[in-house]
Chain A
Amino acid sequence: MKQLVILGAGTAGTMMANHLARKLDKKEWALTIVDEHSTHYYQPGFLFIPFGMYDEKDVSKPKAAFIPKGVTHVQEAIDLIKPEDREVLLKNGDKLPYDILIIATGAKIVPGETEGMLGDGWRRDIFDFYTIEGARALRERVRSWKGGNLVVHLNEMPVKCPVAPLELTLMAEAFCTRQGVRKKTEIHYLSPLSEPFTKHNCAVVLGDMLDGKRINFVADFQCERIDPENRKLVSFDGREIEYDLLVTVPTNMGDPCIARSGLGDDLNFVPTDMHTLQSKAHENIFVIGDATNLPSSKAGSVAHFQADVLTENIQRFIAGQPLEPGFDGHANCFIESGHNKAFLIDFNYEVEPVEGSFPLPVVGPFKLLKETWINHMGKLAFRWIYWNMLLKGLPMPGISTRMSMVGKKTAK
């Protein structure tokens, strides 16, 4: 029996388990998936927790419920990947030999990378919303918000869901308006980038929107340290921004087991072929989702498109055929903008987000790069799609793995 091991039962790993359980010959291949945690979180939903729109129960289910029959589910921490011995060492001392390894260990926040972030201020007036604990604590804090300096801060790229910090900012603006404290609240959005978003087309639209909502965008802010006592952020070029409430997206890094195994870059992300998803260092190791070092967004939609390509390439690898360079960097993201509206963007490695209708020309129903109510409804509906279709590796009607230009307005 040959062994295929998947490390990580998050969005990407769970989808791969479902795809491969259907595609691989059960008489030849044994599938194992490893994850130390028992709860699967719908991470896009964390955004809605601070403002009371979702509860924890809306965003969590047992991981085991999404692992298909015939796949061995091991709940144990990963100690070391040993490519030379073709085995994975677990914390409890067990060894998992593999013929093919899929790394889907994701990314997580590492607040300790910024001086002063973890300290007396952490979860007192400094909050993250990339963890369930952070989102819950922020919810408690905003309940009693009466106004002051509200600072949303993006520490370092890349981060999971690069639009999330902006969404949080826009939703905070809507929240303050609802609570009647908008006039008493100054909102600042700090980013190490020169524009409010990584894609220029989209940055222009979102930049206008920030201006219109009187949100102060602070560009090129490389945070040197946080001074929790005096409640201010200090940048390397000497700027200081004071806060009463700081919502930060700390540095995101790959899993520490990647660093321990010597397989990662400076942020513990695994160097990966940008089109085939094969790891650069070892031909029988493949990488998917947030764990890669690819210049694509770290997002569930990206993992979904990657999963189709990787499923094909695992079968090709087994059959000794050349790999398909099928991944084009395709990402598809709703951007919640507050007041029951949202944007939708669709882009890849080469093509920036453009206007148009999605997924069908003219009728949509979604409008690209425009703020509409129906896009907001799409964002809310996506939670159901995530639990019921996406994780199970079912195809999304009308949405192709490779980005389509149908219905899009392109620059002449």
Chain B
Amino acid sequence: MPTAEIAGVTVDVNEEGFMTEPGQWTRAIGEAIAAELEITPMTEAHWKLIDFLQKDYAEQGQMPSIRRVKNAGGIPTKELYGLFPDGPLKKASRIAGLPKPSSCI
């Protein structure tokens, strides 16, 4: 299992840089990944999504879809794309220390 040093801490990641142990996540790590993805600054609205993703993943055991972020998280899709341009859930999941969302079926 590869590791990466993020915000001075060694964490487990996969080949695409997604953290594999949610327990290792801290807000400082989230800030550092966001900076790497050029999402700066992380505003309250950004964190609202990160908090929702982490809460929903813990409760549901899977990554929410864009539709669920809108319905259950109360974040309109247009706003989502404004906050995290180009593949918002992929970027936000990485910042949140969660798996890459699979829209796969």
Binding site for B on A (CB under 8 A): 156-158, 162, 192-194, 198-199, 220, 222, 224, 236-237, 265-267, 295-298
Contact = CB atoms under 8 A, between A and B. Distances in A.
Interface string B71-88: 110000110110001110
Interface in B52-105: 65-68, 71-72, 77-78, 80-81, 85-87, 102-105
A236 B81 contact: yes
Contact of B67 (A156, A162, A237, A297): A156
Contact of B103 (A193, A237, A267, A296): A193
B86 A237 contact: yes
A298 B68 contact: no
Contacts of B78: 224, 236
Interface string B3-43: 00000000000000000000000000000000000000000
> Chain B: interface residue count, which band?
10 to 19
B105 A266 contact: no
Contacts of A266: 65, 67-68, 71-72
Contact of B87 (A158, A162, A198, A220): A220
B65 A224 contact: no
A267 B85 CA distance: 25
A69 B65 CA distance: 43
Contact of B105 (A194, A198, A220, A224): A198
Contacts of A194: 87
A257 B71 CA distance: 19
B80 to A, nearest CB: 8
B37 to A, nearest CB: 15
A321 B28 CA distance: 50
Contacts of B67: 156, 266-267
A298 B81 CA distance: 29
Nearest to A158: B105
A295 B77 contact: no
Nearest to A220: B87
A278 to B, nearest CB: 16
B81 to A, nearest CB: 4
28 contacts: A156-B67, A157-B104, A157-B105, A162-B105, A192-B103, A193-B104, A198-B104, A198-B105, A199-B104, A220-B86, A220-B87, A222-B77, A222-B81, A224-B77, A236-B77, A236-B78, A236-B80, A237-B81, A266-B67, A266-B68, A266-B71, A266-B72, A267-B67, A295-B102, A295-B104, A295-B105, A296-B105, A298-B105
Contacts of A193: 103-104
Smallest CB-CB A-B distances: 9 pairs: A198-B104, A158-B105, A236-B81, A157-B103, A266-B68, A266-B67, A266-B71, A237-B81, A198-B105
Nearest to B79: A236
B60 to A, nearest CB: 9
A147 B38 CA distance: 43
A194 B102 CA distance: 10
B8 to A, nearest CB: 32
A165 B96 CA distance: 33
Contacts of B104: 157, 193, 198-199, 295
B18 to A, nearest CB: 14
A402 B71 CA distance: 36
Nearest to A156: B67
A107 B1 CA distance: 40
A269 B101 CA distance: 19
Given A156-B67, A237-B86, A266-B71, A198 B77 contact: no
Contacts of A236: 77-78, 80-81
Contacts of A295: 102, 104-105
A270 to B, nearest CB: 14
A222 B72 CA distance: 19
A297 B105 CA distance: 5
Contacts of B105: 157-158, 162, 198, 295-298
B68 A237 contact: no
A237 B85 CA distance: 7
Given A157-B103, A224-B77, 18 more contacts: A157-B105, A158-B105, A192-B103, A193-B104, A198-B103, A198-B105, A220-B87, A222-B66, A236-B78, A236-B80, A236-B81, A237-B81, A237-B85, A237-B86, A266-B67, A266-B68, A267-B67, A298-B105
Nearest to A296: B105
